Structures are given as structure tokens and as C-alpha cells.
Amino acid sequence: MRTQVGIVGAGPAGLVLSLLLAECGIDSVIVETRSRAAIEETIRAGVLEQGTVDLLVDHGVGGRALAEGAKHDGVELRYGGTGHRIDFAGLVGRSVWLYPQHEVLKDLIAARVAAGADIRFEAADVSLRDVTTDSPVIAFTGSDGTPVELGCDVIAGCDGSAGISRHTIPESERTDLFRAYPFGWFGILAEAPRSAPELIYAHSQRGFALISTRTPDVQRMYFQCDPEEDADAWSDDRIWQELQARVAGDGFRLAEGRIFQRGVVPMRSHVCTPMRYGRLFLAGDAAHTVPPTGAKGLNLAVSDVLVLANALDAFYADGSTERLARYEEVALRRVWRTQHFSWWMTSMLHTAPDASPFDVRRQLGELESVTSSVAGSTYLAEAYTGWPFES
């Protein structure tokens, strides 16, 4: 089998890339280990930058995000028992959208399948060969058990943080910069009405909490926990008590309800370089991860593949490799700004297990600086709603 661009992974990065390439008349095949149903059911991100929504709309897959998602013009930073609103619309004239990642993926898969795209779900034994030659190969076993060799001009490694693409770059030529945080997020989905009109990022004596939303009847909430915490060991009552304690103050109470999904996610920052090795290009979580406090991972994956799609468009138009050669430089500029923003939000709002009273007072000073200063809150608003995409 042959295609122009072989894409490993049908997450946001792989699917958006195949959509953008198709519009340039470039063929691709996506090879994905999971089933379509599993992809469409996995609960992950909730916040889309304005630029991400604009891109989905411009490419014909944003209709449901606009109709069923919710535009948020600000967030609340809550500390010392009081809420402080960051007014995105007033400060930077931009907003974010609450529209779950698995709904974005449903929209993308439906659009790609309707357009006749070749997506190999439930592939096994995926491996990459000859990536430093002009005809790299993705080898895999198809869902019917048949071995397949997919010859390509270029491979896009979009297989997330646990994928194989990154490991195809020899260790001697790869640098992985990591930071593991000494806490995780305990996440729940609950059948309950909204407690507040906008997201709440709460700093408290007991640690961080985030109050987010999915629909008018389903709410998403998180609280900082030990990364090894056993989510099943917590009763619903204990979870609600913990969440209520972390947002308490000025009479505010969360609306409670039946918890129907729970889990603990680790928090880490990671960047792998190079993002390009021969004819292999890494994009999205395959190359970098950020802690979810800045709500950036999916948005960063979209920004990577926009840069890559434009570079591939130039390559197929006239054989020029200049933009492909600059892919890593352009992508990494946003990656490191985003790494900083995500680390900053995380360290400002979470309580480290060894935090001293000085550290906690310093965080409160920082939160006060951000919320009481136009310059401070404008930086947060600009970064959270998303810098313009570079392409």
C-alpha cells in the first residue's frame, strides 16, 4: 500500500492533519490502535481556544461546537474564600469554548469518513521503518489480522504521549525534557446543575480545585490529589466534602449530584526534541505534554498540525523543503510559551506537599497581583484564550 502522508494516531492532531491535507489535495492514511467507539467515548479536554474553534468552523467541522458548545468570556480565580473574575472579552476581545474533546473527535471522524478518508482503526503491532529515507514505512497488523506495509513520502507521528513514533528516534539523538509534579488531578463527572456561569480555578488551604462544566445537566470537576490516589476508595460524600471545602467562602456552595465517572490523571510537562527526524514529524502529545491547568494540550496539537500541513502543502506544490525544515522551529516557539503558561498556572494554584507557609503566602501575593492588575490579568486572558496561530 502507498500514500503520501502516513499518519500514526487518530486523536485531535492526526485527524485535523488529515482534514487540512485533504483540502490541499494531499492523500493520507491514518493508522490507529483503538476502535472508533473507544476514541469517541474517552473523556479528556473541555476547553477549546477561540482559534481552535475558528479553525474547525473554517474547515467545515465546527457546526456542532458552535451550536452545542458554550462560549465563555471569562474565568474565576478563587482564593482566600473570594472569587475574582478575569474578563477575557473585556481585556483581549477573545473567548474560549467549552466543548468536549470526544465530541470534537466524533465530528472530525464523521467528516473524514464521509469524505472517504482511509482510517485503519484497531491496528496492532504498529512500527515505523526507514524514516531517514525518502520512502518511510508504517508496518502494522490490520483489524482483520492481515499484515500491512504502508509506504509513504512522510510520516506524521500523532500517537500521543504513550505512542511509538517518538521512540523511533534513536535515544542518542533525542532529548526528552520532563517535569513530573508531586500531585495529580482527581476528576469527576456528575449529574448536577451548573454551580457557576464560568469555570472556577480555586486555590485553597487544602489544595487546588477546578469547577468546569459539560452540559447544563453534567458537570466536570477536579481536585488536586496524590498522584497514586485510588479514585474508587472515595465515597461520593467524601468527594463532595473535599470539593466544597476547596471552594468555600462568601457563602458559595457547589450543586451536588450523582457522580458517574471518576479517575486520577498524573500531571507532567514534557518536550521531546527533535520534533523532526528524517521524514518523521512529531505533532501534539507525541512530542510534548502540558499539565491540564492551562487547558492547552489539544489546542497545541492543533497548532502543530496547522504548521505541518502548510509546510507539506508547500512541499507538494513545488518540492520546496524550506518550510518543512522550519517546522520544528516554528512549532517549538508556541510549545515553550505554552509550557511556561501551563507550568505557571499549575504552580500558582496548587499546593506542593512540602509547601511552607512562605510559599502559600507568596502564591496569594501572586494571585493578588494577577487579579488586581490590568497587565497581570491581560497576560492570563491572552494566553488562556490563545495566541494567534503561526503558520
Residue from 296, 334, 335, 371 binding ligand RFL (CB under 6 A)? 296
Least distance in angstroms from the C-beta of 11 to ligand RFL: 2
Chain residues 345-374 in contact with ligand RFL, contact rule CB under 6 A: none
Residue 223 region by backbone torsions, left for phi larger than 0, else alpha for psi between -120 and 50, else beta: beta
Size of the site for ligand RFL (CB under 6 A): 36
Residue 293 interacting partner from ligand PHB, ligand RFL, none (CB closer than 5 to 8 Å by kind): ligand PHB
Least distance in angstroms from the C-beta of 40 to ligand PHB: 17
Least distance in angstroms from the C-beta of 294 to ligand PHB: 6
Q: Which is nearer to ligand PHB, 261 or 320 (CB)?
A: 261
Angle between the N-to-C axes of helices 374-385 and 327-349, in degrees from 0 to 180, rounded to the nearest 10? 130
Residue from 299, 303, 338, 342 binding ligand RFL (CB under 6 A)? 299
Q: Is 296 noted as a catalytic residue in this protein?
A: yes
Q: CA 321 to CA 312: how far, in whole Å?
A: 8
Catalytic-labelled residue, pool 72, 203, 288, 350: 72
Interaction between residue 46 and ligand RFL (CB under 6 A): yes
Q: Which is nearer to ligand RFL, 125 or 359 (CB)?
A: 125
Q: Which is nearer to ligand PHB, 199 or 283 (CB)?
A: 199
Alpha-carbon distances of 16 from 68, 266, 325, 374, rounded to whole Å: 20, 26, 21, 35
Neighbours of 221 (CB within 10 A): 25
Q: Are 42 and 32 in contact (CB under 8 A)?
A: no
Residue 306 interacting partner from ligand RFL, ligand PHB, none (CB closer than 5 to 8 Å by kind): none
Residues engaged in binding ligand PHB (CB under 6 A): 45-47, 199, 210, 212, 220, 292-293, 295
Least distance in angstroms from the C-beta of 137 to ligand RFL: 14
Interaction between residue 18 and ligand RFL (CB under 6 A): no
The string over 261-289, giving b where at least 16 C-beta atoms fall within 10 Å of a residue's C-beta and e elsewhere, is: eeebeebebbbbbbbbbbbbbbbbbbbbb
Cite the beta strand spans of the chain per DSSP E.
5-8, 28-31, 47-49, 70-72, 74-79, 82-87, 96-98, 118-120, 124-129, 137-141, 147-151, 154-157, 175-191, 200-202, 209-215, 218-225, 258-273, 276-277, 280-282, 288-289
Residue from 70, 89, 139, 164 binding ligand RFL (CB under 6 A)? 164
Q: Which amino acid, one-letter code, is at 33?
A: T
Q: Are 77 and 86 in contact (CB under 8 A)?
A: yes
Catalytic-labelled residue, pool 201, 222, 277, 327: 201
Segment contacting ligand RFL (CB under 6 A): 8-16, 75-83, 168-176, 349-357? 8-16
Q: Which is nearer to ligand PHB, 156 or 210 (CB)?
A: 210
Distant-in-sequence, close-in-space partners of 189: CB < 8 Å, separation ≥ 6? 43, 214, 218, 219, 220, 259, 260, 261, 262
Catalytic-labelled residue, pool 203, 288, 296, 350: 296
Q: Is 316 noted as a catalytic residue in this protein?
A: no
Closest listed residue to residue 79, CA positions, set 368, 387, 374, 377? 368
CA 204 to chain centre: 25
Q: Which amino acid, one-letter code, is at 273?
A: T
Residue from 44, 85, 262, 337 binding ligand RFL (CB under 6 A)? 44
Interaction between residue 62 and ligand RFL (CB under 6 A): no
Chain residues 177-206 in contact with ligand RFL, contact rule CB under 6 A: 187
CA 339 to chain centre: 12
Q: CA 210 to CA 198: how far, in whole Å?
A: 11
Interaction between residue 292 and ligand RFL (CB under 6 A): yes
Residue from 10, 92, 324, 383 binding ligand RFL (CB under 6 A)? 10
Segment contacting ligand RFL (CB under 6 A): 17-25, 58-66, 158-166, 375-383? 158-166
Q: CA 48 to CA 71: how far, in whole Å?
A: 10
Q: Which is nearer to ligand RFL, 7 or 254 (CB)?
A: 7
Q: Which amino acid, one-letter code, is at 56?
A: L
Q: Which residues are catalytic?
A: 72, 201, 292, 296, 384
Residues engaged in binding ligand RFL (CB under 6 A): 8-14, 31-34, 39, 44-47, 101, 126, 158-160, 162-164, 187, 265, 284-286, 292, 295-299, 301
